[in-house]
Structure 1
Amino acid sequence: MAKRSLTPLVDPSEFLDERLTLYPAALTSKGSAWDGIIAVEQRRKPACILESPALLTHFVGIRIGPPGGVVQKRDGRIHRGYETVGDIVIMPAGLPGEWCIEDATDGLHLSLAPVLLERVALQNELANPDTLQLVDCFQVRDAVIEHIGLALRAELATSGGADRLLGEALATALALRLIRRYSTARTSVSDYLGGLSKRRLRRVIDYIDAHLEEPLRLSELAGQAGLSPYHFCRLFKQATGITPHQCVIRRRVERAKRLLQQPEATIADVAFRCGFSSQSHLSRHFRQLVGVAPRTFQTH
């Protein structure tokens, strides 16, 4: 993957919307060593109506207080639910929202700068950072996110968030979870331990066959499977036993065998029509896979 310049992390705590923080925070990470990594706040919210403009950060809300009814409205959608302890809201940056909180409760608010998710996605080859988007979620259960949030709250309560390394580790773990489960890159490698699914593998093979005469790039094939080049190579080999490059060569040689059986076919023309750079390029791979030279194959 080509190297990409990374924007320095900014302080998410600067972007906590005032209309979401009208009520005193029992705990806050603002001013702690976590500034620039993740903003964490615990707040008591009475029964009320809240509006939030489009935030500059991704927002994760975890209900930690008494259960109660909540009506949420975002992006033209309305969700009415009865939330219990552990229910989670995920709101992407740039998306305004409205809440009608029917019963007083305590919430844990986590805010992450989008550049943190982009950096984690790039470093772990999970998605294209330029197109990565979180999925808006009204009410989900996720034990991993809940445990990360509670660990952040516990560290904040005991040490004031002074341990920057722990904050970085937990923020990175949260970013990984959001990318893998609640984003446009939510399909993770763990979902394909046996290799590519048959449907995805068929899509890749069909793409190869349709573009054999062209210079095929690994990024193009990976894009057909919806994976990073690194993960695509691993899963493709798990599924087929060969690398993507070896597969392309074999498909080109198979097409060459069919074309060589046609009357008046020349080896140079067949090489061109199968995507080989030259006649000698075709001959070398043809001998390796078929055992004879193209001309010998053609005359028998």
Structure 2
Amino acid sequence: MPPRNKVGTNESIIIDALGRMPDIQLGSDDDGWQLCRWRQFVGTYTLPALPDPVFTVHIAGKPQVKTWDRDGWSELSSMPGCATIVPSGQETGWLVDGELDVVTLSVSSHILKAAPAADQFRRLRFAFTDPLGVALTRQVLAELYAPPSPARDIYVGAMVNALKAHMLRGPISASGDDIPTAAFSAYRLHHVMNAVQQRPQASHSLEEMAAQAGITPSHFCRVFRKAAGMSPINM
């Protein structure tokens, strides 16, 4: 899975915008995807229109990343554990003021023509919760930092194709109440994160968030830090 940095690709455009190469880059021309991890300190930057849509997962780094929204920075912020879809053909602006640490999955536009959820790639979807997409992305990263082997490469390719399939499928129709959950689960954590995203200016106490998750404040701190890489009081 060699990297592809041909002129005019998503990756070459992002490299020009950030001024550096990605930490990790792999791709499959046959399957129509390119996956990269970008990690550096950055202030603000403009990303020119991309030829292909991008599924982005906020892995770590700055917890209050914003995007340009009409005439100012968005009230909504992205934090580790959030996903964003950047459509093709749309210039975007980004405010980081800290460490940028994201994984991008570019998917060839021609593949979207047969995708049942192609409409979701026609507009910017910023900082939404996607537990499965984030989990798949983190698993791919874990494998990429493991010792290389032919078996690992096959597994990574299968995992990225699963992430691409999840991305192309679009949101599931079932509501959260229809999904059986354990006493605590990734769904409950993302439910809390989603509530914070929907009301960014409200006061979200540790006790309130822990109560929403149905666990003690100390336990909530531990699981949140493990999942998002930061303390919940820093959101």
- Does the 8 Å contact 1:58/1:92 carry over to 2? yes
Report the Cα offset of residue 146 of structure 1.
Answer: 0.8
Do the aligned partners of 1:40 and 1:110 also contact (CA within 8 Å) in 2?
A: yes
Contact (CA 8 Å) 1:60, 1:109: kept in 2 or not? yes
8 Å CA contact 2:18–2:45 kept in 1: the answer is no
Task: Confirm or deny: 8 A CA contact 1:20 1:50 kept in the other structure.
Answer: yes
Alpha-carbon contact 1:75-1:95 (below 8 Å) kept? no
Taking the TM superposition and a 5 Å limit, the aligned residue runs for 1:1-300 are 14-16=9-11, 17=13, 18-30=15-27, 33=28, 36-73=31-68, 78-119=73-114, 121=115, 126=116, 133-158=121-146, 159=148, 162-163=153-154, 164-176=157-169, 180-181=170-171, 190=174
Structure richer in strand, relative to its length = 2
Q: Which structure 2 segments of 5+ residues have no match?
A: 176-235
Structure number with larger C-alpha Rg: 1
Query: What is the alpha-carbon distance in structure 2 between the residues aligned to residue 61 and residue 23 of structure 1?
Result: 18
Task: Extract structure 1 runs of 4+ deviating beyond 4 A.
Answer: 33-36, 74-77, 188-191
**TM-score, scaled relative to structure 1:** 0.46
Residue of structure 1 equivalent to 2:200: none
State the TM-score, normalizing by the size of structure 2: 0.57
**Cα offset for 1:63?**
1.5
Which has the higher relative contact order, 1 or 2, with Cα contacts under 8 A spaced 6 or more apart? Answer: 2
Q: Within 1, Cα distance between the matches of 2:54 and 2:25?
A: 15
1:151, CA displacement in angstroms? 3.0
If each structure's helix is expressed as a fraction of its own residues, which one has the higher value? 1
Structure 1 residue 100, shift from structure 2 partner: 1.8
> Runs of 5+ in structure 1 lacking a partner?
1-10, 182-187, 192-300
Paired amino acid for 1:174: M
Residues 45 and 107 in structure 1, CA contact (< 8 A), matched pair in contact too: no
Q: For residue 48 of structure 1, report the CA deviation from its aligned partner.
A: 1.6
Distance 1:110 1:20, change over 3 A: farther
Amino acid at match of 1:19: D
